[in-house]
């Protein structure tokens, strides 16, 4: 009887051991399956996010192209509208389309001045009379620059040389601005009488000037030799 019980216990232990092993294998398989499911879910999320980003970029690109086309069409239609807008006065066209052509709104400097007369006193500025153009400061006898740019500035002087008046003429072109109110010589010329008769002196130079610059002609010597003179500038 004891041998039967002992004999029956062996198969029971064997069965329990196999069951433990089988349960451990099933648990590993379940973990592996769950891991695979998690990986698939993450992959699905990544694909969805990538798709959304791609759609967003595509929509932004299409919106940018449409906005540029719309802006070009509007600018083209506004220029056409300005071109065909009937108006008897140029002021109305300018008021209707103030930015259609900015260059036409710019007043370019072109001024020419003539000296008021000879003077016997040296070391002073020449006073001028307008021939054409109105960009000058009569109080300070200066040409006022209306806008930044490159300007050709010239001074033409006619000398009346009498016998024995073999003196020299010395002049300077001065420039001042509110940013640097001190008069600065930017051009100098030295000439004079070498013989009796009339003589012409011309000096000119290209300058890069700023808005608000004031140009004036200062005579250091030989003011009494000047019969007539002119002073001008124009924007190149």
Task: Give SS3 for 173.
Answer: strand
Identify the pLDDT of residue 78. Answer: 53
In terms of residues, how long is the chain? 236
Same domain? For 69 and 168 the reply is no
Question: Is residue 136 domain-shared with residue 228, that is, in the same domain?
Answer: yes
Q: Which residues contact 169 (CB under 8 A, 6 or more apart)?
A: 157, 159, 189, 190, 191, 192, 193, 201, 219, 221, 222, 225, 226
Note whether 3 and 76 are same-domain residues.
yes
Specify the range with the lowest mean pLDDT, choosing from 128-132, 179-183, 187-191: 179-183
Residue 82: pLDDT band (50, 70, 90) is very low
What pLDDT is attached to residue 15? 47
| Same-domain pairing of 90 and 116 | no
**pLDDT band (50, 70, 90) for residue 24:** low
Alpha-carbon distances of 116 from 8, 169, 221, 226, 228, rounded to whole Å: 144, 18, 18, 11, 8
Residue 17 and residue 19: Cα distance in Å, rounded? Answer: 5
82, 101, 120 - which closes a domain: 101
Work out how many domains the chain is built from and give that number. Answer: 2
Domain end point (choices 50, 71, 101): 101
- 145 three-class SS: coil
Query: Would you state the pLDDT for residue 219?
Result: 94
Do 185 and 118 lie in one domain? The reply is: yes
Stated pTM of the model: 0.53
5-14, 65-74, 77-86, 91-100: which is most confident: 65-74
Which range among 106-120, 154-168, 195-209 shows the weakest confidence by mean pLDDT? 106-120
Mark whether 121 and 224 lie in a shared domain. Answer: yes
**What pLDDT, on a 0 to 100 scale, did the predictor assign at position 153?**
97
23 and 135 together in one domain: no
Helix H or strand E encompassing 189: strand 180-192
Tell whether 95 and 5 lie within a shared domain: yes
Of the three residues 72, 101, 130, the one that is the final residue of a domain is 101
- pLDDT tens for each residue of 31-64: 888 888 888 888 898 888 999 988 888 888 898 8
Range of the domain at 176: 106-235
CATH number reported for the structural domain that contains residue 120 in this entry: 2.60.120.40
- pLDDT for 60 equals 86
Question: Could you tell me the two tokens for 81?
Answer: 């509208």
Q: What is the pLDDT of residues 57-81, one digit of tens each?
A: 888 889 888 888 887 777 665 555 5
Same domain, 76 and 128: no
Same domain (yes/no): 69, 129: no
Looking at residue 178, what is its pLDDT? 86
Give the model confidence (pLDDT) of 199-229 as tens digits: 899 999 999 999 999 999 999 999 988 999 9
Q: Which residue has the higher pLDDT, 144 or 138?
A: 144
Same domain for 30 and 120, yes or no, is: no
Q: Say which residue, 103 or 214, is predicted with more confidence.
A: 214
Looking at per-residue pLDDT, the higher value among 142 and 16 belongs to 142
CA distance 97 to 79: 8
Co-location of 44 and 29 in the same domain:
yes
């Amino acid at each position: 009887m004891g041998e039967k019980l002992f004999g029956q216990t062996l198969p029971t232990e064997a069965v329990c051991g196999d069951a433990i092993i089988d349960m451990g294998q099933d648990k590993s398989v379940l973990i592996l399956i769950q891991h695979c499911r998690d990986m698939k879910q993450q992959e699905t999320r990544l694909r969805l996010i990538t798709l959304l980003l791609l759609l967003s970029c595509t929509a932004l690109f299409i919106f940018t192209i449409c906005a540029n086309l719309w802006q070009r069409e509007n600018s083209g239609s506004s220029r056409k509208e300005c071109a065909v807008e009937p108006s008897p006065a140029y002021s109305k066209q300018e008021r209707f389309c103030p930015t259609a052509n900015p260059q036409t709104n710019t007043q370019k400097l072109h001024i020419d001045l003539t000296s008021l007369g000879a003077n016997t006193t040296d070391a002073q500025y020449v006073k001028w009379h307008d021939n054409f153009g109105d960009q000058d400061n009569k109080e300070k006898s200066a040409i006022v620059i209306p806008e930044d740019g490159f300007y050709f500035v010239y001074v033409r002087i006619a000398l009346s040389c009498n016998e024995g008046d073999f003196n020299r003429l010395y002049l300077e072109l001065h420039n001042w601005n509110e940013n640097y109110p001190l008069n600065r010589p930017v051009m100098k010329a030295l000439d004079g009488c070498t013989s009796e008769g009339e003589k012409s002196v011309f000096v000119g130079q290209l300058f890069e000037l700023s808005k608000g610059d004031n140009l004036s002609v200062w005579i250091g010597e030989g003011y009494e030799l000047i019969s007539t003179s002119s002073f001008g500038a124009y924007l190149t």
